[in-house]
Amino acid sequence: MRDRDRSRALRLLPVVVFGLAMIVHGRSTFVRAQQAGTSAPAREDSAAGGTPTEGSPAEGTTAEGTTAEGSPAEGTTADGAAGEGTSETDEATEPSGPSHVTVGLYLHHVPELDLHSSSYLADFYLWFLWRGELDPTETFEITNLVEGWDLMKTPLYVDDDGNPAPEDLPDGRRYQCFHVQGRFGHPFDVHAYPFDEQDIVVEIEDGEYLVDELVYEVDPGSTLLHPTLELPGWEIGTPTPTVIESIYPTNFGDIRNPEGGDHYSQFRYSVRVQRPVLGAFVKTIVPIMVVMLITLVMFFIDPKYFEGRLGLGITSLISAVALQLTAAADLPATGYLVLLDHVYNASYIVIFVALLESVISVGIADRGDVLRAKRLDLVTLVVLTITFFGTVSWLVLTR
């Protein structure tokens, strides 16, 4: 019985050994597979840029770009490089130097030109074109404005509350236009009066930004005039818009700034006007010429009628003075003689010489030498006629 049991046990022993071997082999395979699965993500993390320490780094730490040792991850380095590239691009595209503002002016109407006060009324449209946040419409000034209280400066583009609101143009620029009405001034040069030429000037200047911050540019549309623009008594020429640098030799009391350091960009709009030559000649020169012709008539009066000659000369003198005072009423107060003054001065000389010659001629006639007296009258008549009309012609032609 025991032999039979031992024999059965021996036969089962190989089966048990084989089963144990299979169990051990299966466990070893499972452990190796698990280790292989754990090391694969670690290799992927390492390839992605994370540098593991003794243990596997946390995924959040790797995503933020810093390992346990504090080394920046490749993602962070890429971001940093991208940031530097963006900064360099911004610096390259950022405009350098002053802001450029395009300024234009369209003269619509000049109701009055006052020569006596060197001023004029003007009605015009003024517009600005610019880029950026700097708004030149808030800081510009009209530097040759005469009556500030009477100035009308109406913006054409406003918001719902009536405040100025510049328009955005398709090319990226901003645009604003003003309708301006007021009295402006410019020193008139009247040396050649009544054949003078004057300039109607409007000067626009920024009151805050210097030339290193803002520079004006001329809009080509500034060379046009309104078709119905007229100025009675004057012929209107072509506008001349320019941009100049306005220099102030003072620091306006601000000791932080050096004297003469204030340079501003100035837009200067000028229109030349002149008097019609024929009209001015007839209205101002012809009257005094007529008076001189009447004065010269005295030489045709017989020397024995001295009272007639004297009365004619005095009447001519009074007429000349009255004409000059009338003409001077339209002129500003000047410290120099104008062309018309020289004409009247010549007429006074002619009248004085004519009266003086009459006294001499009458004296000669009273002594019985009437023929000599008449000969003197004729010579004086020719000399004074050539002298006066020649002088007037020379003054007019060389004005």
Read off the pLDDT of residues 265-308 as tens digits, 9 standing for 90 and up. 999 999 999 999 999 999 999 999 999 999 999 999 988 888 99
- Predicted local confidence at residue 127, as pLDDT: 97
pLDDT band at 27 (very low <50, low <70, confident <90, very high): low
CATH 1.20.58.390 applies to domain 278-397: yes
Per-residue pLDDT for 204 more than 60?
Answer: yes
| pLDDT tens-digit map of 115-152 | 999 999 999 999 999 998 899 999 999 999 998 888 99
- Predicted local confidence at residue 191, as pLDDT: 94
Section 20-45 average pLDDT: 51
- Predicted local confidence at residue 39, as pLDDT: 46
May I ask the CATH architecture of the domain 99-275? Answer: Distorted Sandwich (2.70)
- Predicted local confidence at residue 17, as pLDDT: 54
Per-residue pLDDT for 230 more than 50?
Answer: yes
- Predicted local confidence at residue 330, as pLDDT: 84
- Predicted local confidence at residue 68, as pLDDT: 39
| Length in residues, the chain | 399
222 contacts: CB under 8 Å, gap ≥ 6? 103, 104, 105, 106, 239, 241, 269
**Do 122 and 150 meet the contact criterion of CB atoms below 8 Å apart?**
no
- Predicted local confidence at residue 86, as pLDDT: 45
| pLDDT tens-digit map of 142-194 | 999 998 888 999 999 999 998 999 999 999 999 999 999 999 999 999 999 99
Q: What is d(CA 237, CA 108) in angstroms, rounded to the nearest whole number?
A: 14
Per-residue pLDDT for 55 more than 60?
Answer: no
**Do 339 and 192 meet the contact criterion of CB atoms below 8 Å apart?**
yes
Q: Mean pLDDT over all residues of the chain?
A: 82
- Predicted local confidence at residue 288, as pLDDT: 96
Cα angle at 382 between 376 and 383, to 5 degrees?
85
- Predicted local confidence at residue 81, as pLDDT: 41
Predicted model pTM: 0.68
pLDDT band at 251 (very low <50, low <70, confident <90, very high): confident
Higher pLDDT: 115 or 254? It is: 115
Q: Where are the domains of the chain?
A: 2-93, 99-275, 278-397
| pLDDT tens-digit map of 335-390 | 899 999 999 999 999 999 999 999 999 999 988 888 999 999 999 999 999 999 99
